[in-house]
Structure 1
Amino acid sequence: FWRDPTNPQGYLKHSRFLAEANNERNFDQNRKDLWLALKHARFVKWEQDTTIIPRESSWWGMYSPDYNIVSRFDTEVYKKDLIGIRTLEEEGRADFISIPGDHMKFSHDQINNIVRPVFTQ
């Protein structure tokens, strides 16, 4: 999934997944409501991620047209709360956690201390 920072209109027109998942192309209140129905969500960013580029997009960040990092707080998805991430965070129902390592490389301790608690809340 690629959001071309130099061609946002092309991204919106041709994205087969990401633009829909983020409610950027055709806003769907039901999609947002599904996110808002979560009791809690935890979003993990791996500090040495070689799969998610930029790694900040694990938290809805992105590249600017000059390839600087744009924080989630400065994206339309967050500012317009297109999928409810801002609401979840403001209500204390979202955690954003950064851990060392590469994409999806959880240690047993991380599974027990980061992943498992989400399912027992």
Structure 2
Amino acid sequence: MKHLEAPAGYWRPPFNHTVYLETNTFLADINNEREQKNATYRRNMVQLNTLALSMATKDSVVIPQSSPLFSFFANNSDSDVVPWNETKGYEEDWVGLRTLHESGRLITAALPCTHMGLKEPACKPYSYDGFARPLLNNTLPRAVPQPQWQS
């Protein structure tokens, strides 16, 4: 874990969790990890029709690779990863992840690509054709029934 660098605020270190909560200017806030929760974050998330999360299984940049799925290192470990649906944030529904999951509006994918390879031709069948394109075609049911227009 030596020599790791990340854009400011995008790293959730597994050690010194209290310091992370006190000093992180982005991730701890947006993930609603602080003691004082921001109800607006959760309210906005649960209004989504669908939340699509993907991870790149050949990623050497994002560690652990499952971080984009809200699955992080366990506190005080740089090897044990807590599955997204076993985290305290999921169980207590800090950002609405559990609500989205239980209502069928959470989609996850593990794509056999590198971090920057999602747009490459070799990965496109997985990242675009297999994951993103069906969502763009609006094939998923809406969370809230839409009004029917009469002609």
How far did 1:73 drift? Answer: 2.0
TM-score normalised by L of structure 1: 0.91
Inter-partner Cα distance in structure 2 for 1:105 and 1:88: 28
Inter-partner Cα distance in structure 2 for 1:120 and 1:104: 24
Number of aligned pairs? 121
Gaps of 5+ in 2: 1-9, 139-151
TM-score normalised by L of structure 2: 0.74
Match of 1:20?
29
Task: Kindly report structure 1 stretches of 4+ aligned residues shifted beyond 4 Å.
Answer: none
Counterpart mapping for 1:4-43 below 5 A: 4-25=13-34, 26-43=36-53
Equivalent AA in structure 1 for residue 46 of structure 2: L
> For 1:70, what is the secondary structure of its paired residue?
coil
Identical counterparts, % of pairs: 28
How far did 1:104 drift? Answer: 4.5
Report 1 or 2 for greater relative contact order, CA contacts < 8 Å, sequence distance ≥ 6: 1
Q: Which has the higher helix share?
A: 1
Counterpart mapping for 1:1-121 below 5 A: 1-25=10-34, 26-64=36-74, 65-67=76-78, 68-106=80-118, 107-109=123-125, 110-121=127-138
Gaps of 5+ in 1: none
Contact 1:41/1:118 (CA < 8 Å) preserved in 2? Answer: no
Q: Which has the higher strand share?
A: 1
- Which range moves more in the overlay, 27-36 or 61-70? 61-70
